[in-house]
Structure 1
Amino acid sequence: MTLAQHVRTLGRGPGRSRSLTLPEAEDAMTTILAGNAAPEALGALLMLLRMKGETAEEIAGFVRAAQTSVAGLPQVDLDWPSYAAGRTRGLAWFLLSAQLVARAGYRVLIHGWNGPDAAVRQGVEAFGIPFAAQPADVEALLDRHGIAYLPLETLSPAVFKLLNLRDTFGLRSCVNTVCRMLNPAKASASVQGVFHPSYRLLQADAAQLLGWQALSVIKGGGGEFERNPAKPIAGFGLRGGAPWEETTSVLIDETRRMDDGERDAAQLRALWDGTRTDDFAEAVVIGTAALALDTLGADAPEDLARALWRDRKQPLAA
């Protein structure tokens, strides 16, 4: 089946068009990633999907095909995608949360691309999260540190190229959601942030179709998996492969924007080292780590996150 057939399915017009089935979506993405799609057909497909809104079956099919473009990766406990882009955000406090989860003995893989927003990549470097230049580097970094960051451009150059069509279209496409759902190491647990709340259930439903066991999706800081401790946060996803919803309680009585204008990535290490005192930022870190630990099935995750934060002062990766 050619990509033109899938464009025809989506674009026949009122009363005749329909969404793609999961197998059709998988076939479409397989065709695209193989380089067998005309650019006009590719653009038409992605924009038709944007106009009608993607279904969970379409996202699941795209993800299933996209995973085949990823090199084999070692076993990981927690998948942590980072793909918020195009909007200014504050410091990437969630990186400290991911480090806490790794300190609890879980293997954590962060992967991503954030477009012109350099906050996450700068934070990875400044805080000392090990950076995997190639997929082949991941296993050694995980064995040594329990955590690694893998950039999308080396994880899957083909998907990276699709994601950057945003610059051509001037609009996001379903590829943004596919990247968040990519789970390249096929971890049994994943945490995901979204900017638009409507995507929380879409990603949860797609994950269930893919047979995932544990997932937490929240509307997070700047679109990342980062919990605002001053607000109740609605979480959607899976526990034991079944749909899960829960609203977390407020952790701190303070009104503050997640994007407070601060951009000095060195402040991440300062908070970790204790040379910076910031109750709100600490609550972001602890609350985000607690939700990630809950996703992993840890007992008393908030108590564990607080204990990990209290005992955090151990050497980090250089």
Structure 2
Amino acid sequence: MLKQLLSKCAEGKALTEDEAYAAMNIIMSGEATDSQIASLLSMLRLRGETVDELVGFVRAMRDRMTAIEASDDVIDTCGTGGDGAATFNVSTAAAIVISSLGVKVAKHGNRAVSSKSGSADVLERLGIDIHTSPSAAKQALETKGLAFLFAPLYHAAMKHAAGPRKEIGFRTVFNLIGPLANPARCKRQVVGVYSTCYAEKLAEAMRRLGSEHVLFVTGRDGLDECSIAAETDVVELKDGAI
């Protein structure tokens, strides 16, 4: 089936939500070759991912992830990365600051793929054990108000795409869907996005996936952050309206 879906993408056609769901399940089950995964990621990047594709991919990820129970007031600060600006990992610093103010943060993150440092890289250099169990993360979230959810521990099936992602090196659809698949099922988030166009797509995808209040921020200087050197565009999803 994946060959048929690849052929459809090669013709410049978009996948339906169900087709995207099926493609991601094939990847996560280990049935796709590295070449097939790299081909799909490259074609999606060149054409531009649709909202249907984003929703289908995220649904598949959520269905296979190891989830943790969390209260409704938990938030996540996560960026897509891939802006090529080589800035430090702002979302991790922001998570630490706002948790100190009494906001519960389930910080979802990974190692760097196309940047100099990811959330996991930063925390490891600070001497923090990122390989904590889901039960330990849940306890930390409840008692300390901050937990780091290391993506490979909660999305173990995504290991099959790790090699192709690392080899091609550029941002892919995984940069976009990672922030949408928080294991704590956060419905409130601040998401840094490298493109306003994609911020709007992600807002629509998260609306369809049930998020309640999300801010998508894009610096006009190309940062997937609130920029201090240029104006920042904000797309807000709140109570079903964008």
TM-score by length of 2: 0.83
Q: Report 1:177-256 matches (<5 A).
A: 177-219=176-218, 223-224=223-224, 226-243=225-242
Range moving further from structure 2, 80-89 or 133-142: 80-89
Q: Residue 49 of structure 1 aligns with which residue?
A: 44
Q: Report 1:61-76 matches (<5 A).
A: 61-76=56-71
Instruction: Letter of the 1:61 partner, please give it.
Output: G
Using CA pairs under 8 Å that are at least 6 residues apart, name the structure with larger relative contact order, 1 or 2. 2
Instruction: Letter of the 1:89 partner, please give it.
Output: A
Query: For 1:124 and 1:39, how far apart are their aligned partners in 2?
Result: 30
Cα contact 1:191–1:216 (8 A) shared by 2: yes
Cα contact 1:7–1:45 (8 A) shared by 2: yes
How far 1:85 sits from its partner (Å)?
5.4
1:103 aligns with 2:100: yes
Q: Residue 142 of structure 2 aligns with which residue?
A: 143
Cα contact 1:163–1:176 (8 A) shared by 2: no
Q: Residue 298 of structure 1 aligns with which residue?
A: none
1:58 aligns with 2:57: no
Q: Residue 305 of structure 1 aligns with which residue?
A: none
Q: Report 1:80-91 matches (<5 A).
A: 80-82=77-79, 84=81, 87=84, 89-91=86-88
CA pair 185-145 structure 1, distance change in 2 beyond 3 A: same
TM-score by length of 1: 0.65
Cα contact 2:217–2:234 (8 A) shared by 1: yes
How far 1:119 sits from its partner (Å)?
6.4
Q: Indicate the percent of aligned positions where both proteins have the same amino acid.
A: 26
CA pair 222-134 structure 1, distance change in 2 beyond 3 A: farther
CA pair 97-87 structure 1, distance change in 2 beyond 3 A: same
CA pair 72-21 structure 1, distance change in 2 beyond 3 A: same
How far 1:159 sits from its partner (Å)?
2.1
CA pair 75-198 structure 1, distance change in 2 beyond 3 A: same
Q: Residue 313 of structure 1 aligns with which residue?
A: none
Instruction: Letter of the 2:7 partner, please give it.
Output: R
How many residues are aligned here? 237
How far 1:47 sits from its partner (Å)?
2.1
Q: Which has the larger radius of gyration?
A: 1
Cα contact 1:129–1:148 (8 A) shared by 2: no
Query: For 2:32 and 2:53, how far apart are their aligned partners in 1?
Result: 18
After superposition, give the CA deviation of every residue in 1:26-58 in whole Å (9 maximum; x if it has no partner): 111112111222444333322221221100110
CA pair 92-46 structure 1, distance change in 2 beyond 3 A: closer
Match of 1:31 among 11, 26, 31: 26
CA pair 48-39 structure 1, distance change in 2 beyond 3 A: same
CA pair 95-222 structure 1, distance change in 2 beyond 3 A: farther
Query: For 1:130 and 1:227, how far apart are their aligned partners in 2?
Result: 28
1:18 aligns with 2:32: no
Instruction: Letter of the 2:211 partner, please give it.
Output: W
Query: For 2:217 and 2:146, how far apart are their aligned partners in 1?
Result: 22
Query: For 1:22 and 1:64, how far apart are their aligned partners in 2?
Result: 9
How far 1:203 sits from its partner (Å)?
1.1
Q: Report 1:229-308 matches (<5 A).
A: 229-243=228-242
CA pair 135-117 structure 1, distance change in 2 beyond 3 A: farther
After superposition, give the CA deviation of every residue in 1:213-266 in whole Å (9 maximum; x if it has no partner): 111111259855x422454311113011211xxxxxxxxxxxxxxxxxxxxxxx
Query: For 2:2 and 2:118, how far apart are their aligned partners in 1?
Result: 37
Q: Matched residue of 1:227: which SS?
A: coil
Range moving further from structure 2, 114-123 or 65-74: 114-123
